[in-house]
Structure 1
Amino acid sequence: MSVRRKVPRLTVVAVGCACAALLGAAPSQADPGTDDTLVGPSATAAEPSGEPFGIGPTATDTFGGYLPEGATLTAFDVENPTVGRLDPPLLAAVQEATRRAASDGIAVEINSGWRSVGFQQRLFDDGVRTYGSVETARQFVASPQTSMHVVGRAVDVGGPDAAAWMARNGPRFGLCQVYANELWHYELTADAAGACPPMKPNATG
């Protein structure tokens, strides 16, 4: 989808992630609570930092995976959990693609990668408020139970011409655009021959 940049990453059906479009302004300060369990394969990655926000009446969660407006990440910024908690095969594929794109004069940025359960829930809840119903929101933002970002198996790319380059070349590295309405969302779903499965119309499948 799912959030800098030379190409806006915060619109819903445009190159970039919809996260900040749903979140609006940056989160306000609050007293830390108990973080939700961090989901992702990289147990040694740095703990996410940011302001906690409420998830329901009692639970709290940090903005794990949230990138402030103006922040810039690449596939090599593994000290940031947005990148460092990606599934290792996906991370390796994105890094290889990033190197190849650079040789073609294309800078591939990471607009969004791993997200905590609580952050994804916030995005989903804000999507419901924005679009007016759960059914419509699901076309643009996945629930924490279905989001590949939560398990570190999806990245949103940005940067001038990066999405177009990835559309042409991503399958060579196993990377496929998954949703027709999200030009920036890539997962490691190509087969051994570099063929991608048919795109889904949107996040509802």
Structure 2
Amino acid sequence: MSFDEGVIKFRPHWIKSNLADFALASEMNSWRKKLYDLKLIGAYEGDIGFGNISMRVGEGLEFLISGSGTGNDDWTGTQHYTKVIDFSLEKNSVTCVGPIVASSESLTHALLYAFDPKIKVVVHVHHRALWTSLVNKIPTTQAHISYGTVEMAMEVKRLFNETELKKTRLFAMAGHPDGLISFGSNFAEACQLYFDLL
């Protein structure tokens, strides 16, 4: 595939350190493995990884997210996750603390957590058949908007305000081939949306 999959488009402020949230990362890892086994997270030719998952930490806006470029790893550990502690749409920046820089889709995850305190997890997958069957039939971002950008984050805000996204908890990304994002109060809820469609 000749597109810019996996490229970080925000300004990363990475504070390199060990990850302290071992229990949360372990829970995320078990769900990521299920998604990986179903090829919802993985890699295109050339080892270009796709897909990422995140989980809110506590009641604030901090969240753990899989690191950039980890989609092609069949096994992940705590070294593959990082904590986003701050973000700015105005500055197009994400600040993360951990052993790896945050995923390229971190701004979209961050904005979803900011929209609704009931959202505890966000799951971004790729699946050509699912995407083809769902694009423009469920809430869908506009085709000219690229992934991982401030524009994408604002487009998700538009979907939240103008469509049934709060109810469906799943949207397609028209300008990001194969890309789907779900969210929920836990991983079972967010992932089941995909499992039911496969």
Q: So what's the TM-score if we normalise by structure 1?
A: 0.33
Higher Rg: 1
